[in-house]
Amino acid sequence: MGAYLVSVGAEEWFGEEEDEWGEVASALNAELRQRGLPPYENVPPETEFAAGSGQAFEEKLSLSMTGFFALCETHLTHEESEVLCGWTVLVPIPLDEEIWLPIDFGYYESTMVVGAPQVLPLAEKLATAIGLPAETPATCDNLDLSTWFRNQAKELVSTRTGLWSRDLDAAFYVALFLRAAQHSIRRGCPIVSA
């Protein structure tokens, strides 16, 4: 099956139903206030799906992460790797450090929230290190990255080799975390692991 990274609109973010994120939103805002920071309340509404619009984000984590983790070990500190890919919730606000909320999430006893402004330079560092091609989709409305890496990337490898082309699974995850951070900042919305 695999997990998904998906953008969340205001209704779902503040909603109190079982599959919504209201408990996390409330706990995050309480933690932000405790740190003397403004609450994160300006979440845009979910928009109607339009392919290629860049208004939504949805990608599936189903490929092997072994090469990606090795890439992180080579180019990032352990702490940076945790910030880049260990989060449960990515928000578009700057945070000095990750925030751990005592809210169960799947197999984990807590929820880790990080700021997209902290994730973005780490993902950019890896994208530069592997020479991620410019043809990589900039928006990920509906598994656009997954589709591109299954099809077009395999075709591009024959004409444009480089570090990115040696491990397409690792390159996929670099692109995934890069585009997730960019989307969160651009749209001002949270992205969650679901």
Q: What digits encode the pLDDT tens for the residues 66-109?
A: 999 999 999 999 999 999 999 999 999 999 999 999 998 776 78
What pairing do the DSSP bridges indicate for beta strands 89-91 and 111-115? parallel
Among candidates 48, 5, 20, which has minimal Cα distance to 182?
5
**CA-CA distance, 114 to 140, in Å (whole number)?**
20
Instruction: Tell me the torsion sign for CA atoms 148, 150, 156, 160.
Output: positive
CB 140 within 8 A of CB 191: no
The pTM for the full model equals 0.94
pLDDT score of 161: 84
- Could you tell me the CA-to-CA distances from 24 to 105, 135, 162 in Å, in that order? 10, 35, 41
Work out the average pLDDT over 136-162: 90
- What pLDDT was estimated at residue 48? 81
Return the pLDDT at 58.
Answer: 93
Mean pLDDT of the chain: 93
The residue-averaged pLDDT of 173-180 equals 98
Does the pLDDT of residue 10 top 80, yes or no? Answer: yes
Backbone angles phi, psi at 5, to 5 degrees: -105, 125
Residue among 97, 121, 113, 139 at smallest CA distance from 24? 113
Task: Summarize the confidence of residues 44-71 as an average pLDDT.
Answer: 88
| Average of per-residue pLDDT across 54-74 | 93
Q: Which of 103, 104, 101, 122 is nearest to 113 (CA)?
A: 101
CA-based Rg of the chain, rounded to a whole angstrom? 17
What pLDDT score does 47 carry?
82
